[in-house]
Structure 1
Amino acid sequence: MGGIVVIGAGQAGAALAARLRALKYAGPVTLIGAEPAAPYQRPPLSKAYLLGETDLDRLLLRNADFWDAQNIDLRPNAEVTGIDRAAKCVVLGGERIPYDQLALTTGAVVRRLPPAIGGDLAGIHYMRTLADADRLAPELVAGRRVLIVGGGYIGLEAAAVAAKRGLQVTLVEAAPRILQRVAAPETSDWFRALHLAHGVRIVEGVGLDRLVGTGHVSGAVLANGEEIAVDFVIAGVGILPDTGLAEAAGLALDNGIRVDGQGRTSDPAIWAAGDCASFPYAGGRIRLESVQNAIDQAECVAANMLGAGKDYLPYPWFWSDQYDVKLQIAGLNTGYDRVVVRDEGAARAHWYYRAGRLIAVDAMNDPRAFMVAKRLLAAGRSADPAKVADPAVELKTLLA
């Protein structure tokens, strides 16, 4: 028997393998990861880990002895070079590992700046892996000048870390405002003000024309002609689903590895979960980039690999830490037509509505709003906008 092989040892892969054992699957389980480290958490890399507030041991998803204790064959620092669907095996160096069922939890890779605009210069950093964080950490020296390209959450988190370390921070965003793809103007305005108060310079509506330098980046030229001297660059311009193995194996793709409601790919013996998987949702298809989705979808797929026959229904939530602010997001704001602001001073939340129904919430230092909204959304319920906007109304009464 080949058992179950899982390619990708990130959050989804680790959750899937562990869930198989929790569900009493007794066959062989092989978990293959490209990185040298055992499965670890990624979100703290751009926050606490870069600030030196946590170490690798605290990032690990499981204790070192968990994998052996669960009889899971963990293969770190291993690159799968192909999938032989006809023979039902994966190619790992000179080894061929057979499988009865295969799970792809390959995650995502960062978008890189193109060489045509200087993207091949030294001194350009990305934030996705432990190795990325380890390369970036020595650059964060007070007084140095950093250019951050991209005003999404990764870029803003990097800006917050650099500003806290005393660097001179300039952030450029080609779109008219930061967070434009993921948040309402009200949230963009709130976070812009937060970063400006910490000395970050934010340039919006202006793209990066090119990076300059001899071997190592030393400056940037913006689309408006402005020239900026820099010591290094952090690019946070999004991620792409890692579909290389799936594509080479001839699996169907659709903004990721296309799966059905249960997580099965176009090959009935192969499944996918996490950042790399595109699944049916609300009459269309969606790919969610979040820890919560990686875990929940992977655990659902594990059950379905054992015959549960259950469709995956996500309850999306996300978070971001910047300075002393914890942003918690419940739901998906796609297609919102109204934003209701609840301002309680230290706590603030932006409630998104579509056609009169609550669909999402951005909660800044407001865990009560996040939890109430999360429960409402999970129950398929809405909330009266007038009550939401009134700080005198207790949030918990919205659950009554």
Structure 2
Amino acid sequence: MGRPIINEAYWLRAISCLAVAVTHCVNTTLGNYEESIPQLEEYFLIVIRFIAFFGTPTFIFISELLLAHSYPNKLPQDFFIKRVKFLLIPFIFIGLVFAILVSNSLKDILYEWLINLFLGGYHGYFILIIFQFYILHAALHKYMVKWPAKKVLLIAFFINAIYLSIFNFTEPIAGKVGEYFWLRGYWVPFLGWLFYFVLGFYCGRHFKLLKAHIEQQKYMMYILPFLFISVICILTRSHILDVVSSKRVDMLFYTVSVIFFIILVTMNRVKVPKFIYIISKYSFNIYLLHKILLYFLKPIGYLNPVIYFIFSFIYSVLGAVIIAKALGYFSFSKFLIGKTIPIPKEDGVQKS
């Protein structure tokens, strides 16, 4: 489209991808060492998990940031067709894989598969959210470019915050449906992520202006992530808000602060390191595959839990990249585990 590449997006995507893997590796470690983990190591891993919870919401932001930046006027005609083929079909396939892994009969497989596809039963629920925002972008783009950004951002923030607060601070409606929806079903509707979408839209359209504002407030940008994660830890320890997920209302503040922090520390780098390009390239594959690898990872009794966590992280991320690279030789693999993301041939040339 002739628009300059946002190099910072490679950093955001790679770091967010690794953050998602970190949260699941912590969960695996805590689950495998549930009976024997020392308290100090347990607290350390729990804090690491909270620090990494920005990963999934940042993906929402990145998706809309790049959409608004790359297509400032309208979406291409084949936009939805491509995303159905390379996002939705892999989501359906990996949902089936997880259903098979946790089931003992054909009936159970079908039940779990339907839960995965429509109720966010596995970590790929992110794709369902993204598609809702693709539809919202197509429907609201021509209006959002005219509406005052500050007002839209404020309204979106309050809608998002109120929605999350309902599920953070109230008891589930009686019954299995209510319990499931309060547990994880509320993750899927777009209202729980609306602010990240709106923020991504306006940041994508005005990225140079965003960077100028971040530069002006750089000292605050260095402080805010540490301030907000401290608040999250205090609220959790005091049991004021003890939800353990990225769907906490206070994550709205923390995630945005981390996004701006990453942009700040990367926006003056001329070159993107090869490692960041590689993780960014395989980020969707890592997102889909790493938890399958973790499913087969058993406890290793003689390893300290923190060392086990580090091992599980390297094993799941590296394993996912190796699988994606190996399957990449087959043209059909993009329909199973998604496409890799293109990276520029030269660094820094098209930086916005």
TM (normalized to structure 2)?
A: 0.27
More strand by share: 1
More helix by share: 2
Task: Report which structure shows greater RCO (CA 8 Å, sep ≥6).
Answer: 2
Structure having the higher Rg: 1
TM (normalized to structure 1)?
A: 0.25
